[in-house]
Amino acid sequence: MEPELLLVDDDPSALRVLHGMLRAAGLHGSECSDAHTALERIMANDDILVVLCDLYMPRLDGIQFTQRLGALQLGRPAPRVLLVTARPSLESAIAALRGGACDFLIKPLEEQQLLTAVNKALVQARRELLLHRSRNQDGADVLETTASRRVKYAALEAIEQLRRLRGRYDVHQLDDVAWELLLELLRSERGAHRLSVSGLTLSIPGVSATTSLRRISELTARGYVDRIPDMRDGRREFLALTGKAHELLSDYLENVDRCLTDIQGEMLPPAG
């Protein structure tokens, strides 16, 4: 039998880490570096039940991949998708749930968190495949209607819960651009990369460089970000999160993870 898991990420090192964690637990998956190839493999391989896909990839991102996967005429239940990102946001979480993802995992992944999510998705996918093969058309219509209603209500609840979650941090007076800049800096630091002021300024899609630069100055003045001169190039400065920012982001990501785990549990179909 072919592997039931498919790992999709344009970062080879991320694929190695993910594959290693799964292999250590006795789970095996195939790998690919772009979402277009992943769609081709799924169409050609009925054994793929769960896909772990990076959210931010060139050409076709994780949300677009999930939407296209859901539109395929496979003649069987589509594989369950777990989206993985180091840059969680309210907008991406909502888009992921609306697009059909069954879970939203935040890097760096903890081994137990990953294995719990993967095993849960595999159980659900196998159950769906068994039902698909055994039920008659009348029963299928009833089950699909019930599942559709459950997903719709859970998605609406997800939107409200995640909006309330960001509201807990209003005391910090950070708008969406400031949050995205801080989260991008955290992602860079966890990947052992340094971001310059100009690099961070251009890193947030859909936000002008002028707006990003203004927010960086504000974050620096308020003690969330430090500017570090480049010793080899006096014209350039690197950015680093302060302890104050790390404390805020750690608390925020823990709450996001808890919130999304609760939402995903509400979307589970009943056993039996």
pLDDT tens-place string over residues 23-55: 888 888 899 999 999 999 999 998 999 999 998
Per-residue pLDDT, 2: 62
Residue 271 lies in a domain: no
Predicted confidence band of residue 153 (pLDDT cuts 50, 70, 90) = low
**Residue whose structure tokens are 């309210």:** 90
Nearest C-alpha neighbor of 50 from the set 24, 70, 78: 78
Question: Are 42 and 17 part of one and the same domain?
Answer: yes
DSSP label of 271 = P
Alpha-helix runs per DSSP H in the chain? 12-24, 35-44, 62-71, 90-99, 111-134, 137-167, 176-190, 197-201, 209-221, 243-266
Question: Are 23 and 138 part of one and the same domain?
Answer: yes
Non-local (6+) Cβ contacts of 14 within 8 A are 54, 107
CB 191 within 8 A of CB 11: no
Question: d(Cα 264, Cα 261) in Å, to the nearest integer?
Answer: 5
Question: Are 232 and 118 part of one and the same domain?
Answer: no
Question: Are 74 and 142 part of one and the same domain?
Answer: yes
Q: What percent of the chain has pLDDT over 90?
A: 26
For the chain, how many structural domains are there in total? 2
Residue 193 lies in a domain: yes
CATH number of the domain to which 206 belongs? 1.10.10.10
Question: d(Cα 140, Cα 40) in Å, to the nearest integer?
Answer: 27
Q: Which residue has the higher pLDDT, 182 or 134?
A: 182
Question: d(Cα 63, Cα 56) in Å, to the nearest integer?
Answer: 9
Q: What percent of the chain has pLDDT over 70?
A: 78
Question: d(Cα 27, Cα 48) in Å, to the nearest integer?
Answer: 13
Per-residue pLDDT, 193: 78
Question: Are 187 and 140 part of one and the same domain?
Answer: no
Neighbour order of strands in the sheet with 225-230: 195-196, 233-241, 225-230
Question: d(Cα 213, Cα 125) in Å, to the nearest integer?
Answer: 45
Q: What's the angle, vertex CA 72, arms to CA 68 and CA 77, rounded to 5?
A: 110
Alpha-helix runs per DSSP H in 25-110? 35-44, 62-71, 90-99
Q: Given a cut of 70, is residue 144 above it in pLDDT?
A: no
Could you list the residue range(s) of the whole structural domain that residue 158 is in? 5-166
pLDDT tens-place string over residues 195-231: 888 888 877 777 788 888 999 999 999 999 999 998 8
Per-residue pLDDT, 9: 93
Per-residue pLDDT, 217: 93
Question: Are 92 and 176 part of one and the same domain?
Answer: no
What DSSP string runs through 244-257?
A: HHHHHHHHHHHHHH
Non-local (6+) Cβ contacts of 200 within 8 A are 181, 184, 185, 212, 216, 239
Residue 12 lies in a domain: yes
pLDDT tens-place string over residues 50-80: 999 998 888 888 889 988 998 888 888 999 9
Residue 259 lies in a domain: no
